[in-house]
Structures are given as structure tokens and as C-alpha cells.
Amino acid sequence: MEQVQQFIQSNKDRFLEELLELLRIPSISADPAYANDVRKTAEFVKEKLAAAGADKVQLFETAGYPVVYGEKIKDPSLPTVLVYGHYDVQPPDPLELWESGPFEPVIKKTEIHPEGAIFARGACDDKGQLYMHVKAFEAMMAHGEQPVNFKFMIEGEEEVGSDNLGIFCKEYKDMLACDVVLLSDTSIIAHDTPSICVGLRGLSYVEVEVVGPNKDLHSGVYGGAVANPVNVLCEMIASLKDENNRITIPGFYADVIDVSAGDRAKMNEAPFDLSKYKNGLGIEDVMGEKGYTTLERASIRPTLDVNGIWGGYIGEGAKTVLPSKANAKISMRLVPNQHPDTITQLFQDHFTSIAPPGVTVTVSPHHGGFPAVVPTDTPEYKAAAMAMKEAFGKDPIPERGGGSIPIVAMFEEVFGVKSVMLGFGLDSDDIHSPNEHYGLFNYYKGIETIPYFHKFYAELKKN
Ligand code: BES
Ligand code: MN
Ligand code: MN
């Protein structure tokens, strides 16, 4: 292990150069204009995985973007770790808010990252984090250190719902058989406060349309006499929360399992500075469901948020018009035991039922996903905690994250195994936002931690 760590220290510059190269390819899965680049990225990951020492490295075609697969099987009696990651990224817009090109990575120091951070789309989510696994694997291979069997499955459609990965996993269930799934696509609390993600929220995502008159109208001639779809949409959305910021959709909370008072108390012991949080976001105050702390609101409680809304005249100057229609994209984050399809149905029934006369409302579901929680009394969690302790010199805190990685629940369903969410980003790394970045500290710390995970996991599984 000493030699593996030594190898990492002496190859840091190259590990960084390679990541920068990976970040220069705009693998935006949501935008078909980037299809070639997404494929190029898959090729890049494939080549690097092979160069690092993996066998049977290949791209598996799907109905969408290919899955990169590779393995290094040493001995069937060893436990098998399936490493998951995604090489696709979110669209970078709004472009004008980036201080440097989203696909022209630069390294800059920040207050939180005094040793420097890489600014680029995908730096943290998830190219920087998936590449840590490729480099940790390379370092282990370079010194013949292989305590487990390795399988790698890196997909290119996570940011658009991973629909084809579900199909791929079912089809290649035998090839992918493993004892645990290991992924780095979440965050730690701070550089000096390691944590391990033990929960993710699910997702129900819908698009709504409110249609009124059969054409745009003069807002003076018709205003006040005909339902205005934009006004109506705003009122309908506003009615989805009450004065306590509870969601008003009947049955929305029915399946939510309340977290015990003891667990909530423990959760709130995690270091969290509300005024720093507010300062970082430039807000005077936070807002959320009554009776819950900010940490709880962003992890163990379900939410409803408008992600985008449009309709009517948005050009220069003023145009007096009563628009014919209005639209919005709405996401609901779900917590354990809530079913995305049930929630989508409840939303659809409720939202159409509150439509006033004079408009027609349609709700179209987008992708959804199941929430996930992982236990902490397993060899895989313990190995992750020991690895963090080794690398950070501090015991990690188990923490539930607010984001969604729908395939984590799917892995459990298809492979019957738990996942270890050994993420190294920070919540302040601006993933999905302009100026996304990933700390050099985090990148290298991740590469150093991962080999320990494999070592401790193998040891714990032996006993
Ligand atoms: N890596 C994120 C999820 C994440 C971020 C989990 C931070 C925990 C902490 C992932 O790439 C992502 O963005 N997922 C999407 C869901 C997907 C269905 C588009 C999300 O959470 O919005
Ligand atoms: Mn991600
Ligand atoms: Mn993401």
C-alpha cells in the first residue's frame, strides 16, 4: 500500500493533465448536437481504463450512449467491486455567467480551495470523481496490489435519467455480478470533515401546460374577461404549498416514513454554519418546511420546485398581450418509501383538478427515480469509513444527500447489492451551475482513499 500511495504522489501532475484532457470534451448528454463528443468521451475513458490495466475493455452500445466496461478478475474467491461513474455532463448554460469556458478547464484558488480548484463543467460531477477510480486502479495495478476483483461500468446518460443503463444492467446481469457497487458522485461536508453519503432522494419530474384562448390576444381588449394562462399557472403553482411550506397535493406525504427524533438529533450534530450557508448563496434568509432545519429540509424531506417557467412576451420592451398558453417544468424530490410513479400520478390528478374553468391543463411526466438509503452496519460501509479515516485522519460522518442517483436503487433491485457512495465533492462546488469546480485537494484525496477502501473491504469480507 505504501508503494501505491508513493506512485500516486509521484504521478500527480500527469493525473491532473489527463483529467483536464477529459474535461475538454463537451459530453453534454441532453443536447443531441454533442452526440459525437459524448462518444469521444466514452472512447477516452475506454482507452485510459485499458492503459491502467483493465481487461476486456469495451464499449457496449445501448439505445443511447455507450457504457464503458472493463474488468480485472484475479481470483473468483475474492470479493468483486463494481465501480460506477458517469462520463456525461449537464449543459453548461447560462454561458455568460462562466468566468472561463466550461470546456476550457483552468485552475484557480478560492477561499474554500486554497490549493486550487479545476473550473470546468463535469469537473466534480462526475468526470473528476470517476477518473479518481481509474487512477487509483492504475496505481494499484502498477504495484500488483489487487485485494479485490474489479469491474468498471461508466455510463453516459446519468444526467438524462439513465434509462438505458437499467436495461443494460438487466441484460448483462451475470457479467456485472458483484458484491458491492462503489461510486463517487456525492459530496463530503468539508475538507476537514469527511462524510459518507448514506441516502439519496428520489425524483418525480413533470412538465405542465396551461392553455387558454386559441391565440394570443390584446390584453386591453380581452384582459379581465378571459383567463390568462400565465396568471393561472402562477396561481396554481402557488397553491401547491401552504403557509408552512408543506406541499398541498393530497396524499403527497402518505408514504413518507418519518425519521426518528434520535436520528434527527444526530443528523443535526453535523457541522453546519447557517450564516456561512446564507452568505455563500447571497440570501438574507433560508426558506423551507416548518419544523425542520436546513440540513433536514435538504435531505430527509420531500420537495417541490419549479425548474423553469415560460409563456407570453419576454422580448425587449413591453408588448401588451394576453398569452394563449404557459408552461413550467416541476421537480419533486422524494424520500424513502415514496414511489415516483405514485407521486407523479398524485400530482397529475391534483394539478388537473385545480384548473379553473376557461383553461385546459396537461401534465406530461419526464423521468423519475427511486430514493435510496444504505445501512452503516455492513462491511462495505465500514471499509469506506476506515478508508476515509486512514486518508483524512478523522472518522467520517454518515450523511444523507439531497440529490438523486436513480440507478443506486436499481443496482439494489437488479444485483441485490448495496452501494457505497464515497463522494469527495463539496456542496459549494457549483455542480449543474456556472463555474462548476473540483478541488485539487479533493481529487488527490479521492485517489488516495480509494485503494484503502478496496484493501479494507477485502479484509472485512474475509472475516
Ligand atoms: N451527482 C449528482 C447527484 C448528487 C449530487 C447526489 C450531490 C448527491 C449530492 C447526479 O449527477 C445528478 O445530478 N442527478 C440528478 C438526477 C438525474 C435523474 C438527472 C439530480 O439529482 O438532479
Ligand atoms: Mn453525478
Ligand atoms: Mn449531475
How far is 415 from 81, CA to CA, in rounded Å? 12
161 shares a domain with 66: yes
Residues 52 and 77 in one domain: yes
Whether residues 320 and 386 share a domain: the answer is: no
Decide: 125 in ligand 1 pocket, CB within 6 A. Answer: yes
Residue 396 and residue 323 share a domain: no
What does 38-81 look like in DSSP terms, one character per residue? HHHHHHHHHHHHHHHT-EEEEEEP-SSSPEEEEEE---TTS-EE
Instruction: Check if 123 has its Cβ closer than 6 Å to any atom of ligand 1.
Output: no
Query: What CATH number does residue 231 fall under?
Result: 3.30.70.360
Q: Ligand 1 pocket, 130 CB below 6 A?
A: no
Residue type, position 117, single letter: A
- If asked whether residues 456 and 321 sit together in one domain, one would say no
Atom in ligand 1 nearest the alpha carbon of residue 425 = 7
> Cell numbers of 396, please?
467520517
Whose C-alpha lies nearest to ligand 1, atom 20? 404
136 and 240 within one domain: no
Q: How many angstroms separate the CA atoms of 224 and 209, rounded?
A: 21
* Residue from 159, 187, 404 whose mutation best tests the ligand 1 pocket (most atoms within 8 A of CB): 404
Q: How far apart are CA 374 and CA 420, in angstroms?
A: 8
- The answer to whether 446 and 123 have CB atoms below 8 angstroms apart is no
- Which residues have a Cβ under 8 Å from the Cβ of 93 and sit 6 or more positions away? none
Same domain, 6 and 142: yes
Q: Which atom of ligand 1 is nearest to the CA of 187?
A: 9
pLDDT of residue 463: 75
Whether residues 348 and 390 fall in one domain: no
Last residue of a domain, one of 354, 369, 384: 369
The answer to whether position 289 is within a domain reads no
Could you tell me if residue 224 is left (phi over 0), alpha (psi between -120 and 50 degrees) or otherwise beta? Answer: left
- Taking each helix axis from N to C end, the angle separating 2-10 and 440-462, rounded to the nearest 10 degrees, works out to 160
C-beta of 187 in contact with ligand 1 (< 6 A): yes
User: Is the Cβ atom of 419 under 6 angstroms away from ligand 1?
Assistant: no
298 lines ligand 1 (CB under 6 A): no
The span from the CA of 167 to the CA of 241, in Å, is 36
Query: Helices (DSSP H) in 294-406: which residue ranges?
Result: 294-297, 340-353, 379-392
DSSP secondary structure letters along 394-430: SPPEEEE-SS--THHHHHHHHH---EEE---EEGGG-
User: Is the CB of 158 within 6 Å of ligand 1?
Assistant: yes
What's 260's DSSP letter?
P
Whether residue 268 is contained in a domain is answered as no
Distance CA 295, CA 297 (A): 6
- 140 and 188 fall within a common domain: yes
Residue 189 CA to residue 310 CA, distance in Å, equals: 35
Q: What's the CATH number where 378 sits? A: 3.40.630.10
- Report how far ligand 2's centroid is from the alpha carbon of 363 (Å): 27
What per-residue confidence (pLDDT) applies to 415?
96
pLDDT at 367: 83
Specify the 3-state DSSP secondary structure of 101.
coil
Please check whether residue 230 lies inside any domain of the structure: yes
Position in ligand 1 atom list of the atom nearest CA 86: 11
Is residue 267 in some structural domain?
Answer: no
Ligand approaching nearest to the C-alpha of 85: 2
Pick left, alpha or beta for residue 442 (phi over 0 → left; psi -120 to 50 → alpha; otherwise beta).
Answer: alpha
**Residue written as grid cell 490549493:** 115
| Distance in angstroms (rounded) separating the CA atoms of residues 334 and 206 | 14
Q: Which residues contact 238 (CB under 8 A, 6 or more apart)?
A: none
| Secondary structure (3-state) at 108 | strand
Å from CA of 119 to ligand 3 middle? 15
Residue 293 in any domain: the answer is no
Which of 348, 369, 390 delimits the end of a domain?
369
- Using the atom order of ligand 1, give the atom closest to the CA of residue 331: 22
How many angstroms separate the alpha carbon of residue 445 from the centre of ligand 1? Answer: 21
The domain boundary residue, chosen from 369, 389, 406:
369
For residue 130, the model assigns a pLDDT of 98
Task: Give the distance (Å) from ligand 2 centre to CA of residue 257.
Answer: 26
Question: Beta-strand (E) ranges in 252-294?
Answer: none
Q: How far apart are CA 374 and CA 327, in angstroms?
A: 37
Question: Is 296 contained in some domain?
Answer: no
* 346 and 391 share one domain: no
Determine the 3-state secondary structure of 16 from DSSP: helix
Rounded Cα gap, residues 98 and 117, in angstroms: 15
Do the beta carbons of residue 173 and residue 414 sit within 8 Å?
yes
Contact 370, 380 (CB under 8 A): no
Mean pLDDT by 10 residues, the chain (463 residues): 97 98 98 98 98 98 98 97 98 97 98 97 98 98 98 97 95 98 97 97 97 98 98 98 98 96 92 95 98 97 98 97 98 97 98 97 94 96 98 96 95 96 97 98 98 98 87
Q: How many CA atoms lie within 13 A of 247 on its CB side?
A: 24
Range of the domain at 9: 2-200+372-462
| Residue to mutate (ligand 1; options 84, 132, 159, 184; most atoms within 8 A of CB) | 159
Q: Beta strand pairing status for 303-311 and 437-439?
A: unpaired
Tell me, yes or no, whether 266 lies in a domain: no
247 and 117 in a common domain: no
When divided into structural domains, the chain yields a total of: 2
**Which residues make Cβ contacts (< 8 Å) with residue 247, sequence separation at least 6?**
240, 241, 253, 302, 303, 304, 332
Please give the pLDDT value at position 422. 98
- Which three-class secondary structure state does DSSP give residue 311? strand
Ligand 1 site-directed mutation target among 405, 426, 428, most atoms within 8 Å of CB: 405
Cα–Cα distances in Å, from 136 out to 6, 182, 402? Answer: 12, 13, 27
Whether residue 181 is contained in a domain is answered as: yes
Report whether residue 88 contacts ligand 1, using a CB cutoff of 6 Å.
no
Which residue's CA is the nearest one to ligand 1's atom 19?
Answer: 159
Q: Check residue 366 and give its pLDDT.
A: 92
Note whether 208 and 90 are same-domain residues.
no
Is the beta carbon of 405 within 6 A of some atom in ligand 1? yes
The Cα 120–Cα 22 span in angstroms is 10
Closest of 22, 72, 70 to residue 46, by C-alpha: 70
Cα–Cα distance between 329 and 345 in angstroms, integer? 16
Task: Check pocket membership of 446 for ligand 1, CB cut-off 6 A.
Answer: no
